[in-house]
Amino acid sequence: MKPPRFDYVAAGSVGEATEALASAEDSRVLAGGQSLVPLMNLRLARPSLLVDVNHLGALSGFESHNGTLRFGAMCRHRFLETDPDVRQKAPIFAEVAELIGHVGIRNRGTLGGSLAHADPVAELPALLVALEGRVIVASTGSERAIPAAELFAGPFTTGLEPDELLTTVEVPAHRDGDGGAFSEFVRRHGDFATAGVAVILHRDGFGACEQVRVAGCGLGPTPMDLSAAGDFLRGESSLTDGAAEELGRRVAAAADPPGDVHGSKDYRRELAAVLAADAVRRAWARAGSAGGA
């Protein structure tokens, strides 16, 4: 038997889940299990109570409402990748979900789980930061919103309290002139990224750049907001190769990547430059076309 002993509750509602979470010290939410269960098998995580939220159908929906896209926390990566509605209204989520692990992982792993796990190399947290999204979290009898900028406190550490359940993920709906792209480098297909960069930008009706948002994974202890690197593009109505490379240089300079067996600091900085230039070119082209991203 690999994991240590624990009690188990299959929650039938959000209320049941938050009550169960509050009922024990070291309680944990069990979502897709694709990060938590490996840690339990290795006995690196030893929760006393698992609150299984896989039966909460209310947490697996996707809707567009008043200019906001709302995803249930239990939207599985595979759903983001394949659902026609998501592909149409939030194509950047489909593009990013496809980059995560392998199909067997994506069949189980969830959006909320990825955000709550807060792996500094995970893609979805970086995407949430780039999109300036927020999460809604519930605890017994109350609910609050945490903006992406405040959610990620450190590697594998979020602003969630132990008795809080992440229920919903919200990002601004796509407007005409928006374009986004996510570029990453992996050693082998399906691995965690060595580094990745998300660029989300908006061009006005005349094609001029109004806003550039940049965030990275694998480039710091948290999914870093590197948007300041793109400020110089505001007002430009074309993207030259030189400008794309300049963005790359600025992103690389602002990043604070770790050095480890997968790549030194300098190597990751160089990757960041190349990936940012690639992402901004793709985002720019998409922002100028009808479909966008």
Partner 1 sequence: MTKVRFSLNGEVAEVEVEPRELLLDTLRDRLAMTGAHAGCEQGSCGACTVLVDGCGVRSCLMFTVQVGGSEVRTIEGVGSPGSLHPIQQALSTHHGLQCGFCTPGMVLTALELFETDPHPSRDRIEEWMSGNLCRCTGYVNIVKALEAVAGTAEEQL
Q: Does the footprint of ligand FAD cover residue 18 (CB under 6 A)?
A: no
Q: Does the footprint of ligand FAD cover residue 192 (CB under 6 A)?
A: yes
| Pattern 225-264, ligand FAD, x by CB under 6 A | ----------------------------------------
Residue 6 CA to residue 14 CA, distance in Å, equals: 21
**Binder among 16, 19, 52, 119 for partner 1 (CB under 8 A):** 52
**Binder among 26, 68, 88, 102 for partner 1 (CB under 8 A):** 102
The answer to whether 93 and 82 have CB atoms below 8 angstroms apart is: no
Residue 151 CA to residue 18 CA, distance in Å, equals: 19
**Shortest distance in whole angstroms from residue 101 CB to partner 1:** 7
Kindly tell me the sign of the dihedral angle through the C-alpha atoms of 78, 84, 89, 91: positive
What is the residue whose two structure tokens read 């509602």? 13
From the list ligand FAD, partner 1, none, partner contacted by residue 1 (C-beta under 5 to 8 A by kind) = partner 1
What is the residue whose two structure tokens read 């505001």? 234
**Binder among 12, 13, 26, 41 for partner 1 (CB under 8 A):** 41
Residue 117 CA to residue 37 CA, distance in Å, equals: 12
Closest CA to 80 of 117, 121, 128: 128
Q: Does the footprint of partner 1 cover residue 207 (CB under 8 A)?
A: no
Q: Does the footprint of partner 1 cover residue 12 (CB under 8 A)?
A: no
Residues in the chain, total: 293
The answer to whether 12 and 53 have CB atoms below 8 angstroms apart is: no
**Shortest distance in whole angstroms from residue 37 CB to partner 1:** 4
Q: Does the footprint of ligand FAD cover residue 216 (CB under 6 A)?
A: no
CB neighbour class for 212 (10 Å; exposed up to 12, middle 13-18, buried from 19): buried
**Shortest distance in whole angstroms from residue 137 CB to ligand FAD:** 7
Q: Does the footprint of ligand FAD cover residue 27 (CB under 6 A)?
A: no
Q: Does the footprint of ligand FAD cover residue 29 (CB under 6 A)?
A: yes
Token pair of 259 as six digits: 């050095």
Nearer to partner 1, 57 or 205 (CB): 57
| Pattern 130-169, ligand FAD, x by CB under 6 A | ------------------------------x----xx---
| Residues linked to residue 219 through DSSP beta bridges, in sequence order | none
Ranges assigned E (strand) in the chain:
7-10, 27-30, 49-52, 62-65, 68-72, 134-139, 142-147, 152-154, 157-158, 165-172, 178-185, 195-203, 209-217, 224-225
State the residues that interact with ligand FAD by CB under 6 A.
28-36, 38, 73, 100-101, 105, 108-110, 112-114, 116-117, 119, 122-124, 160, 165-166, 192
State the residues that interact with partner 1 by CB under 8 A.
1-8, 10, 33-34, 37-38, 40-42, 50, 52, 54, 78, 101-105, 107-108, 188-190
